[in-house]
Amino acid sequence: MSGEQATKRPTLEELKERKAQTRRRLERTGEILTLSMGPQHPSTHGVYRAELDLDGEVIVAARPEIGNLHRGLEKLCEHRTYHQIIPLTDRLDYISGFAMNHAFCEAAEKLMGVEVPPRGRYIRTIAHELSRIANHILWLGVHVMDLGTQTFFCICFRDREYVLDLFEMLCGARLTHSFARIGGVAKDLPDGFEHRCRKVIDFIPKRVAEYERIIKHNRIYYKRTKGVGIFTAEDCYAWRVTGPPLRAAGVARDLRKDEPYAAYDEVEFEVAVEYNADVYDRFLVRMKEIRESCKIIRQCLDNLPDGPFLAPDAGHALPLKKNVLRDPAAMIQDFYQVFYGPQVPKGEVYRAIEVPKGELGVYIRSEGGPKPARVHFATPSFYHAQAVPALVEGEMLADMVAIFASVDIVLGDCDR
């Protein structure tokens, strides 16, 4: 199916009928080729496997298989205190680790009723947006590599390094940050961070302009992505596809705006929206989001309030590390939090925040005590992975990789 045909989207009935016809014809003639794509494949972004039925180069049916990276994360959470769960969440979507920490902490704080001090909220916002920039730049690199050019991948990796360096400065880790804490963040901004961060966020929009100059007007990129993998707003609702793919379909839904958390209601930014719902527009949306993220970080740095960055809440939060050996109360709090855990009331909570890949919902059920009874992560990658067959059926094999990359899936996030 060529790009011109794909832009005129047939109705669902027509599509079903056409699919059934093809299927019948192919089953009659036995001309179907079943291709097992993955779990080891250069562009399945991890260990995703899809069984594709091919008619020549056209995909007639796709059957996804996930779970190859299942590590029992949700079960592990049931045996850990709330503080100990934070490092586990890093391993969900390891591309944007901080966003995962943040989501869990937001949910846990809602359950415990902890108020995060303003400085903590601002630092969280900065770190979250940095992880969004890192995620989108990496996404661009691998997406473009899936379309056959490797040089651009290296350019993207080089630029992502600057953001990772900032993370290293912030918390010592480059990928698995574990930087958020219940009630705030682990550390204050280090000396010199602000200066370096400003340099990076001045630099990144220039790089984004360069990416756009290289890619946006590239004829081959345009031909490969325009009108490919169309997923309208209705489709997105039906499959619970969120984040950039939904915004590329013309829906201005962004939890940062709609249900603000951290410091998002105190900064000004625009929700990136495009209307064609194809791979090309998902690229445009992500580029806009990088620019908006830089704007958000700049505002946060300008208006960074003074005060504590971690809630002085003896029942739920950890004390400041520097006070532990000096202040008896802090020492008791430290012992209590580390050896017992936070005191959590009975109840259940669901909190969704906008992580780079979409909406990450965290559900926690507590029966009292320091450990949750059940934790569930409604991760965007999982829902995006299940929508892949609906996205790729009727498209060509080469488009499968482009579409698969365009919805941005990380298998660690999907399989948990």
Partner 1 sequence: MSDAIAQLIFLIIKAVLIPLVIVLIVAFAIYFERKFAGFFQSRVGPTYLGPWGCLQSFGDILKLLSKEDVTPDQADKPVFRLAPYIAFLPAFLVMAVLPFGPVGGEPNLFGYRFDYVIANFDAGLMLFLALGALGVYGVLLAGWSSHNNYSLLGGLRAGAQMISYELAMGFSVVGVMLLAGSMNLVDIVNAQAGNFWNWYFIPQIVGGLVFFVASIAELNRTPFDLPEGEQELVAGYLTEYSGMRWGMFLFAEYVNMVVISAITATLYLGGWRAPLEVLSFIPGPIWLFLKICVLIFLYMWIRWTIFRYRYNQLMAIGWKVLVPLSLANLAVTAVVISLVS
Is 100 strand, coil or helix? helix
**Alpha carbon distance 149, 159 (integer Å):** 17
- Binding residue count for partner 1, defined by CB under 8 A: 33
279, 396, 403, 410: which one binds partner 1 (CB under 8 A): 396
Nearer to partner 1, 58 or 390 (CB): 58
> 94: phi > 0 → left, psi -120 to 50 → alpha, else beta; which?
alpha
Nearer to partner 1, 35 or 329 (CB): 35
**398 binding partner 1? (CB under 8 A):** yes
20, 209, 220, 338: which one binds partner 1 (CB under 8 A): 220
Q: Chain centroid to CA 124: how far?
A: 16
CA distances from 349 to 61, 104, 124, 360 (A): 38, 11, 21, 14
Stated as kind and residue range, the H or E segment containing 195 is helix 193-211
For the beta sheet containing 374-378, the strands, ordered from the edge strand earlier in sequence to the opposite edge, are 346-355, 358-367, 374-378
**180 binding partner 1? (CB under 8 A):** no
Nearer to partner 1, 147 or 189 (CB): 147
287: amino acid identity, one letter: M
Going by C-beta distance under 8 Å and a sequence separation of 6 or more, which residues neighbour residue 142?
A: 43, 45, 153, 405
Q: Which residue shows structure tokens 């995962």?
A: 100
**399 binding partner 1? (CB under 8 A):** yes
Closest approach of Cβ 387 to partner 1, in Å? 20
Which window, 77-85, 216-224, 299-307, 337-345, contacts partner 1 (CB under 8 A)? Answer: 216-224
**292 binding partner 1? (CB under 8 A):** no
Nearer to partner 1, 220 or 338 (CB): 220
12, 33, 209, 332: which one binds partner 1 (CB under 8 A): 33
Closest approach of Cβ 130 to partner 1, in Å? 22
Binding mask 39-78 for partner 1 (x = CB under 8 A): --xxx----------x--x---------------------
The sign of the dihedral angle between the CA atoms of 118, 378, 269, 408 is positive
**31 binding partner 1? (CB under 8 A):** no
**7 binding partner 1? (CB under 8 A):** no
Residues between 133 and 162 that touch partner 1 (CB under 8 A): 144-151, 153-155, 158
**253 binding partner 1? (CB under 8 A):** no
Nearer to partner 1, 45 or 371 (CB): 45
Of the candidates 333, 360, 339, the one whose C-alpha atom is nearest the C-alpha of residue 414 is 360
CA distances from 244 to 162, 235, 240, 338 (A): 23, 14, 12, 38
Which window, 133-141, 217-225, 350-358, 367-375, contacts partner 1 (CB under 8 A)? Answer: 217-225
Q: Which residue shows structure tokens 């299942």?
A: 70
* Residues near partner 1 (CB under 8 A): 2, 33-36, 41-43, 54, 57, 144-151, 153-155, 158, 218, 220-221, 223-224, 396-401
